[in-house]
C-alpha cells in the first residue's frame, strides 16, 4: 500500500486529469437540459434529484457539483482498482463520472473492470472506446461525443502505463 502522501498526491492528480477530460466533453449549461438518453442534467454533467427544470444554477454551484461528483467517481475507481497510475485513474474516473461505476467496478458486466481487477491495465484502457453508446428512444446507438470522449480517455489511460 502506498504511503498516505503518495496516495493523496495520486488521487489529486487523477482528479485533476479527470476534470480536464470532463469539462470540455460536458460543456457548461447553467439551465437544466435533457441529455440524449433523456437524463435531466445541468452545469458540467451533474444529474440527480437536486436538478430542477427551469432553474438557473450559479457558476459557483456548478463548480461545487463538478468537484464533488468527480471526487466520488475517483473514490469509486480507487476502491475498485486501488493504486492505479494517475493517468489511468483519471481516465477511468472520467468514464465513471460519465457512465457510472459499471465500467470500472463490475467485472461481470465490463471487460474493462475485469482487466483492471487482473492488473491488465493496457487491456483495460483498450476497452474504453467500446463504451461509446447510449440508449436513445429505446435503441442503443453510438454517440459522436462519447466516441471522442472515450478516445481521449483511452489516450490518457495508455500514457499511464508508460510511466
Give the span between the Cα atoms of 129 and 82, in whole angstroms. 22
Name residue 136's beta-bridge partners: 139
Q: Determine whether 35 is an active site residue.
A: yes
Catalytic residue from among 6, 26, 75, 127: 26
Full 3-state SS string of 40-59: EEEECCEECCCCCCCCECCH
Helix 144-160 and helix 86-99, axial crossing angle in degrees, nearest 10: 160
The one catalytic residue in 6, 35, 86, 159 is: 35
Annotated active-site residue 75? The verdict is: no
Catalytic residues: 26, 35
Amino acid at each position: 500500500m502506498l504511503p498516505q502522501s503518495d496516495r493523496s498526491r495520486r488521487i489529486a492528480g487523477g482528479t485533476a486529469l479527470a476534470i480536464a477530460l470532463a469539462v470540455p466533453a460536458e460543456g457548461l449549461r447553467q439551465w437544466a437540459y435533457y441529455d440524449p438518453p433523456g437524463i435531466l442534467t445541468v452545469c458540467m454533467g451533474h444529474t440527480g434529484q437536486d436538478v430542477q427544470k427551469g432553474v438557473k444554477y450559479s457558476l459557483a454551484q456548478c463548480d461545487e457539483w463538478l468537484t464533488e461528483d468527480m471526487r466520488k467517481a475517483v473514490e469509486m475507481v480507487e476502491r475498485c482498482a486501488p493504486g492505479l497510475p494517475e493517468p489511468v485513474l483519471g481516465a477511468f474516473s472520467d468514464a465513471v463520472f460519465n457512465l457510472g461505476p459499471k465500467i470500472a467496478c463490475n467485472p461481470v458486466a465490463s471487460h474493462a473492470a475485469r482487466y483492471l481487477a487482473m492488473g491488465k491495465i493496457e487491456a483495460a484502457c483498450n476497452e474504453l472506446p467500446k463504451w461509446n453508446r447510449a440508449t436513445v428512444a429505446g435503441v442503443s446507438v453510438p454517440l459522436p461525443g462519447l466516441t471522442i470522449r472515450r478516445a481521449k480517455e483511452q489516450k490518457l489511460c495508455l500514457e499511464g502505463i508508460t510511466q
